[in-house]
Amino acid sequence: MPSVLQKIIYTGTFLSTPSLDELQVLASHAVGVDEDGVIRHIEHMSDQSDTGIQELAVSWGWGKWEEGKWSCVKGGAGGNSWWFPGFVDTHIHASQYPNCGIIGKTTLLDWLTTYTFPLESSFSSLSKARQVYTACVSRTLSHGTTTASYFATRHVAATNLLADICLEKGQRAFIGRVCMDSDMSPSYYRDESPQQALTDTIATITHIKTIDPTHTLLTPILTPRFAPSCTSPLLTALGSLSAQENLPIQTHISENTSEVSLVASLFPTHTSYAHVYDAHALLTPRTVLAHAIHLTPPERALISSRKSSISHCPISNTSLSSGLCRVRDLLDQGITVGLGTDTSGGYSASILAAAREASMVSRIVAHLTPEEPSAPDPTTTTTTTTVPQTPDPNPKPCKKLSVPESLYLATLGGASCLGLSHRIGNFAIGMDWDAQLIELGTAPDAEGSVAGEGIGDVGGQDRGNTRRVYVRGRLVHERR
Amino acid sequence: MPSVLQKIIYTGTFLSTPSLDELQVLASHAVGVDEDGVIRHIEHMSDQSDTGIQELAVSWGWGKWEEGKWSCVKGGAGGNSWWFPGFVDTHIHASQYPNCGIIGKTTLLDWLTTYTFPLESSFSSLSKARQVYTACVSRTLSHGTTTASYFATRHVAATNLLADICLEKGQRAFIGRVCMDSDMSPSYYRDESPQQALTDTIATITHIKTIDPTHTLLTPILTPRFAPSCTSPLLTALGSLSAQENLPIQTHISENTSEVSLVASLFPTHTSYAHVYDAHALLTPRTVLAHAIHLTPPERALISSRKSSISHCPISNTSLSSGLCRVRDLLDQGITVGLGTDTSGGYSASILAAAREASMVSRIVAHLTPEEPSAPDPTTTTTTTTVPQTPDPNPKPCKKLSVPESLYLATLGGASCLGLSHRIGNFAIGMDWDAQLIELGTAPDAEGSVAGEGIGDVGGQDRGNTRRVYVRGRLVHERR
């Protein structure tokens, strides 16, 4: 990775979500980023002229403009341009990128056999892998995704290539070789044995250590596909490896009711799906569980107690008719939640699209959730009550996710899932400059935009609004 | 409206949905459009060279190229470019365009008073109206909307201006001055009396007749806002006017459960919400009812028998937590359905976005709908049945809307709602050339696109993919 040569002062308006439901707006500010891409200064600028910027740099000990030791990137003026933290995609299958939008009327289990396994198996071809992974990383960067937790395929060479491409293009990434040794996977696409799966996984870990020894950008992540794809010996081995090497883990859980039944039949001695993972030491504070739609209250409590986190993938969940994830229940239980595009269960590689759908799905959940009953009027209370007799462990109404809440999940929430909330997902001194410059009204055909227009149609969907993207101070995408 | 000066031959691939769930692909075809913008020829081209095109023109009696009587627009080659019918937006509030994305956590009735009425009332200013309507028409054209059924505001001058702008920019439009005389609307924004509402409505009808006497592009549409906004005398007057002048009607119905209760309390002598409209002669074959989420089976039967149609507005319905419209039930009952953006209850002015959300919502409905029970095995049937005792008037499962079905609703379905299925929404001889040229991979930063990529991320969201838009043969939008 080339080092960033200069200190840079970024100016303009800085938006971020430092906590759930808090949208922070720092207007007329300057952020000073050092040669390592780390934020060293955040200051209000009373004087935004070049002179004011120079005075600021001098006050920071950066020297005068003419000494050439720093440069300045202005984030535009007015209400149509701002800096925002880079997006964190906590669940994306890079190898499935070519299948975006191809689902038909399938649901999870037949979708896997119809569309997904045939595609993934083709990554035995390195040229195919290079084409798809290059496209996927370029595209996610263009959507402002500065960090992605990738499922690759079970191929070592192709998975290593994904790591190479992320490093070259400058995207922060968790790279997972997919482990799948059970006979639930087709014979043409599965690991030969638990031992082989482990050996192959270690080969990718070694490669990533070789190309990024400090793990500045790249982190290997253990990736049992999901419980039905793995034998118990493989799950045990991965749990041990995670503990020995302090490695993060990613997998799927409770995405689909048929899948939940399948797990119950495959692992009959375990109490629940979550308990299957827990029994194999796979529920750790570094574990990211994708979907988690149909968890029972005891499963939620178990996940919460293990401090594992959940990747909410609303576009995928709706596309595959998997169900409605009750995100508010998860948050209320203290579970860390981030967002995943789940390409290609989800049709879009954009976390902003996922954030929008998270808000949309929560509004459907709100509609389907009866309001909390008012406290009974004591003067009319009788011994025969009409309150439902079924005990409800979560009696609060499942409220809508606001726009700031969805954006928090898309940034700092995702960073928290991946154990990176001290480095990315927000703007603060000591954190890395993983950021995107948003400019409304500069996309083609923007003649229709008017002042005061809401964020929906303008800011939401056009990638063209993402003007520049930085990871650890390096410019990794620029819209021409 | 300037007439189109030349005959034009359009070549390339032509996609359309001539019926529900049928995606027709005409590869290597030529479509000949005359000086009036009407399709006169559709033919396969065995020879796609300039010579082949010339021979085709000669065979149509159009003469040779050098005579200058026709020109040719090539729709690109390969799988990344095609012609598609223009989109039909059957329900859009042009005046609410600046509020796209601004909803907060409101639902219908408080959204109206918090955001909507204050904005609409500002259209007493013609400069405000000009700014917003220009932006809205430009934007919807850029999304490929060739026909829109607009709610304006209650202001005559601003409504007339909307008609002027549509005519100038070449968008086919239904223009509705909003009628709202009841005291359910705020005193600062309502019609003074039924008589005044009628007089003002007739003034807009007269204006539209003046500027487009043949109604080639513009049609006035009677627009009682919704039952709670109108007194019974006004509803009666509008029903009579529709019958006398054969005018179309648009309004809202059963969007929100509180609204349904409100209607029941305001019109206590009527059986249902639909019966309120029917009793005032407002359910006609030219009536478009927006939302229709919470209709009872008798209401659906009534609407079906009156041959009124329904504008499904999925983005709005989800955004405002209004509920899940069971579109399959409507279609199965023979009701004509189209799509509406419902700007700004919906955050997007794009019918393609509405089509996608229609498919998404249907997948949630499918998840929530129990599968049709299998036929009981006669060998095990006993007198004690476990079939639920509640009679289900619609026992079939509410299946997912496929992509072609959603695209049909977005084009020919919407045209049918507006009584225009003989002229627009499909490619056929004698129909108008209302069309859009889609080009994937030409949007900015498309370096990430790969062959074989699905339609989701690439084709769906970037307006940049809509390269050219035509209405009745006139080029009304071109992406530079």
Q: What is the DSSP string of A443-460?
A: STTGGG--TT--HHHHHS
Measured between its terminal Cα atoms, the distance across chain B in Å is 23
Q: Which two tokens stand for residue B60?
A: 């149509």
Domain with CATH 2.30.40.10 in chain B: 7-85+426-478
pLDDT at A450 over 50: no
Which residue from A420, A433, A417 is spatially nearest to A470, judged by alpha carbons?
A: A433
Mean pLDDT in residue range A28-40: 96
Rounded to a whole number of angstroms, the distance from the CA of B439 to the nearest CA of chain A is 14
Which residue from A29, A38, A97, A47 is spatially nearest to A346, judged by alpha carbons?
A: A97
Q: Which two tokens stand for residue A375?
A: 């406290």
Q: Are A450 and B98 in contact, with CB atoms under 8 Å apart?
A: yes
For residue A432, the cross-strand partners are: A38
Which residue from B141, B121, B20, B15 is spatially nearest to B75, judged by alpha carbons?
A: B15
Stated as kind and residue range, the H or E segment containing B405 is: helix B403-408
pLDDT band at B168 (very low <50, low <70, confident <90, very high): very high
B301-357, pLDDT tens digit by residue? Answer: 999 999 999 999 999 999 999 999 999 999 999 999 999 999 999 999 999 999 999
Q: Are B55 and B9 in contact, with CB atoms under 8 Å apart?
A: no
Mean pLDDT in residue range A171-180: 98
Going along B109-197, which residue ranges are E strands?
Answer: 145-151, 172-176, 178-179
Domain with CATH 3.20.20.140 in chain A: 87-365+397-417
CA–CA dist A162, A179 (Å, integer): 16
Q: Are B87 and B476 in contact, with CB atoms under 8 Å apart?
A: no
Edge-to-edge strand ranges of the sheet holding B249-253: B249-253, B287-291, B309-312, B336-339
pLDDT at A103 over 80: yes
Instruction: Number of helices (H) and strands (E) in chain A: give both, helices first.
Output: 16, 18
pLDDT at B476 over 80: yes
All residues of chain B having their beta carbon less than 8 Å from the beta carbon of residue A448 are 134-136, 138-139, 142
Q: Are A98 and A36 in contact, with CB atoms under 8 Å apart?
A: no
The answer to whether the CB atoms of B367 and A321 lie below 8 A apart is: yes
Written as one letter, the residue type at A117 is F
Query: From the list B322, B453, B464, which residue is nearest A464 (CB)?
Result: B464
**Confidence (pLDDT) at A77:** 64
**Confidence (pLDDT) at A369:** 85
Cβ atoms within 10 A of the Cβ of A244, count?
A: 8
Cα–Cα distances (Å) from B121 to A219, B159, B344, B433, in that order, read 56, 12, 15, 37
Neighbour-count burial of B451, counting CB atoms closer than 10 A to its CB (0-12 exposed, 13-18 middle, 19+ buried): exposed
Instruction: Compute the half-sphere exposure of residue A385: CA atoms within 13 Å on the CB side of its CA.
Output: 10
A75 vs B381, higher pLDDT: A75
pLDDT at A262 over 90: yes
Share of chain B above pLDDT 70, in %: 88
Q: Are B12 and B81 in contact, with CB atoms under 8 Å apart?
A: yes
All residues of chain B having their beta carbon less than 8 Å from the beta carbon of residue A99 are 454
Query: From the list B131, B452, B464, which residue is nearest A450 (CB)?
Result: B131
Taking each helix axis from N to C terminus, what angle separates A351-368 and B351-368, rounded to the nearest 10 degrees? 50
- Give the CA-trace dihedral at B15, B20, B22, B27, to 10 degrees: -10
Rounded to a whole number of angstroms, the distance from the CA of B319 to the nearest CA of chain A is 6
For residue A339, the cross-strand partners are: A312
The answer to whether the CB atoms of A135 and B456 lie below 8 A apart is: no
- Where does residue A472 fall: left (phi above 0), alpha (psi -120 to 50 degrees), or beta otherwise? left
Mean pLDDT in residue range B35-47: 96
3-state secondary structure of A398: coil
Degrees to nearest 5, angle at CA B341 with B338 and B347: 155
Q: Which fold has domain B87-365+397-417?
A: TIM Barrel (3.20.20)
All residues of chain A having their beta carbon less than 8 Å from the beta carbon of residue B457 are 100-101, 139, 343, 347-350
Mean pLDDT in residue range B284-289: 98
Taking each helix axis from N to C terminus, what angle separates A156-169 and A126-142, rounded to the nearest 10 degrees? 30
CA–CA dist B480, B461 (Å, integer): 18
B8 vs A3, higher pLDDT: B8
What's the ipTM? 0.88
pLDDT at B464 over 90: no
Say if residue A344 is preceded by a cis peptide, omega within 30 of 0: yes
All residues of chain B having their beta carbon less than 8 Å from the beta carbon of residue A100 are 453-458
**Confidence (pLDDT) at A3:** 56
All residues of chain B having their beta carbon less than 8 Å from the beta carbon of residue A447 are 135, 138
Rounded to a whole number of angstroms, the distance from the CA of A412 to the nearest CA of chain B is 22
- Give the CA-trace dihedral at B48, B49, B50, B53, to 10 degrees: -30
Indicate the average pLDDT of chain A: 90
Cα–Cα distances (Å) from A4 to A71, A142, A197, B411, in that order, read 12, 20, 38, 51
CA–CA dist A406, A459 (Å, integer): 14
CB pairs under 8 A between A and B: 192
Q: Are A426 and A411 in contact, with CB atoms under 8 Å apart?
A: yes
Pairing of strands A223-224, B309-312: unpaired
The answer to whether the CB atoms of A347 and B105 lie below 8 A apart is: no
All residues of chain A having their beta carbon less than 8 Å from the beta carbon of residue B360 are 315, 318-319, 357
B277 vs B396, higher pLDDT: B277
Please spell the DSSP secondary structure of A228-239, one letter per residue: GGS-HHHHHHHH
pLDDT at A382 over 50: no
B185 vs A440, higher pLDDT: B185
Q: Which two tokens stand for residue B185?
A: 């609307």
Query: From the list A98, A459, A464, which residue is nearest B450 (CB)?
Result: A98
Cα–Cα distances (Å) from A460 to A18, A186, A340, A350, B453, in that order, read 21, 39, 17, 10, 22
Answer CATH for B7-85+426-478 from 3.30.420.40, 1.10.3470.10, 3.40.50.150, 2.30.40.10:
2.30.40.10
Mean pLDDT in residue range B362-369: 93
All residues of chain A having their beta carbon less than 8 Å from the beta carbon of residue B350 are 457, 461
Rounded to a whole number of angstroms, the distance from the CA of B166 to the nearest CA of chain A is 14
CA–CA dist B298, B108 (Å, integer): 24
Q: For chain A, what's the residue count?
A: 480
A392-422, pLDDT tens digit by residue? Answer: 444 444 579 999 999 999 999 999 999 999 9
For residue B337, the cross-strand partners are: B310
Mean pLDDT in residue range B143-156: 98
pLDDT at A389 over 50: no
- Give the CA-trace dihedral at A275, A279, A285, A289, to 10 degrees: -50
Query: From the list A137, A349, A463, which residue is nearest B462 (CB)?
Result: A463
- Helix, strand and coil content of chain B, in percent to the nearest 5, comes to 40, 20, 40
**Confidence (pLDDT) at B285:** 98
Cα–Cα distances (Å) from A52 to A11, A26, A60, in that order, read 11, 17, 12
Which residue from B194, B93, B220, B200 is spatially nearest to B155, judged by alpha carbons?
A: B200
**Confidence (pLDDT) at B373:** 46
Taking each helix axis from N to C terminus, what angle separates B232-245 and B194-211, rounded to the nearest 10 degrees? 30
pLDDT band at A48 (very low <50, low <70, confident <90, very high): confident
Cα–Cα distances (Å) from B115 to B104, B105, B112, B344, in that order, read 10, 12, 6, 10
pLDDT at A456 over 70: no
CA–CA dist A71, A59 (Å, integer): 15
3-state secondary structure of B447: helix
Residue B345 CB partners (closer than 8 Å, separation 6+): B93, B96, B103, B108, B111, B313, B315, B316, B319, B320
Neighbour-count burial of B128, counting CB atoms closer than 10 A to its CB (0-12 exposed, 13-18 middle, 19+ buried): middle
> What letter would DSSP give residue B96?
G
Smallest CA–CA distance from B95 into chain A, residue: A453
Q: Are B218 and B208 in contact, with CB atoms under 8 Å apart?
A: yes
Rounded to a whole number of angstroms, the distance from the CA of B190 to the nearest CA of chain A is 24
pLDDT band at A274 (very low <50, low <70, confident <90, very high): very high
**Confidence (pLDDT) at A73:** 95
CA–CA dist A461, A176 (Å, integer): 29
A120-164, pLDDT tens digit by residue? Answer: 999 999 999 999 999 999 999 999 999 999 999 999 999 999 999
B169 vs A388, higher pLDDT: B169
Q: Are A458 and A475 in contact, with CB atoms under 8 Å apart?
A: no
Q: Which two tokens stand for residue A64?
A: 């005068």
CA–CA dist B15, B25 (Å, integer): 5
Mean pLDDT in residue range A368-380: 52
Stated as kind and residue range, the H or E segment containing A127 is: helix A126-142
Pairing of strands B223-224, B178-179: parallel
CA–CA dist B348, B285 (Å, integer): 28
Query: From the list B99, B323, B400, which residue is nearest A367 (CB)?
Result: B323
